[in-house]
Amino acid sequence: MDEVTQYVTTSDGLQLAVYESGQEHAPVVVLVHGYPDNHHVWDGVAAELADEFRVVQYDVRGAGFSDVPGATSGYRIDQLVDDLGCVIAAVSPESPVHLVAHDWGSIQCWDALPDDRLGVRIRSFTSVSGPSLDHASMWLRAMHRGPVRRLLQIVESYYVGFFMAPVLPEFCARRGIIGRMVEHSSSLGRPSTRRIGETVERSEAEAVNGIALYRANMPGRLLRPRPPHVTLPVQVITPSHDVHVSAALAAEAPRGYAANLTVHRIRGNHWVVAQRPAAIATLVRAFVDQVTPELAGAPDDSDYPR
């Protein structure tokens, strides 16, 4: 979707570009993208859901047509949660929304879920390839429960340390190296012939700006975790060939912190939201029906994508 329907002002004065589609008076689904994406990564899913929901996409700060913070601190998760709250207040002031997020979009949304943040404004949450950093830190510390899986995840997360370095990550982003890293991970276990570069347009600025997400949040969250406890319904979708977030981390890290947790394993890699939009939309629709049975009947198991 290309046309901005409104700009939402954040608590620190930035403007976020918001895009709306679907049915005007239907339940609202808010889609939050990660790094190094913009709202376009959700276009396929939005099109699949538009016949039943009012679908809201937005460019997070530093991406797409949204403003760019002037300092790394502007990318802290607390500020990103405030941004989400501003968007929800603007698009659905009267009713709670169904939240769906991917990658860094999902990472930030976990902090929005407790009741003392935005939990009362959110009816359900679907997370794809984006665990809470605090949950992830606690999972990694429990080495005695499966050291091999945890050590493999640490190896697969090599790029996190790389993004902490000064200057070099920005240089690599401007030379297209980060883009090639994305292309590589998007080719693994693909269920179709579509590569992420063919379905999502990104800019050099988005690749550069989003590096601040890692610098602003990773050290404190991983070293001093404060895992959020969540009572609202949470669905975690774990792609089978995700080299950035292992299925073990995504499925196990929330256990003990999410009281109402559903986990679905699906064929695909880290970019499954762009490559298999119909499958993601099917899971989102079924989950919404499950937590709001007044909207529709529960689906048969055969309806679930694999």
For position 189, what pLDDT does the model report?
A: 63
The answer to whether position 205 is within a domain reads yes
* Domains contained in the chain, number: 1
Could you say which residues of the chain have pLDDT below 50?
A: 193, 195, 197-198, 297-302
pLDDT computed for residue 147 by the predictor: 82
CATH of the domain at 41: 3.40.50.1820
Q: Does residue 1 sit within a domain?
A: no
For residue 233, the model assigns a pLDDT of: 97
What pLDDT does 197 receive?
47
**pLDDT tens-digit readout, 183-198:** 878 877 655 545 454 4
Provide the domain limits for residue 174: 6-303
What span, in angstroms and rounded, lies between the C-alpha atoms of 183 and 187?
Answer: 6
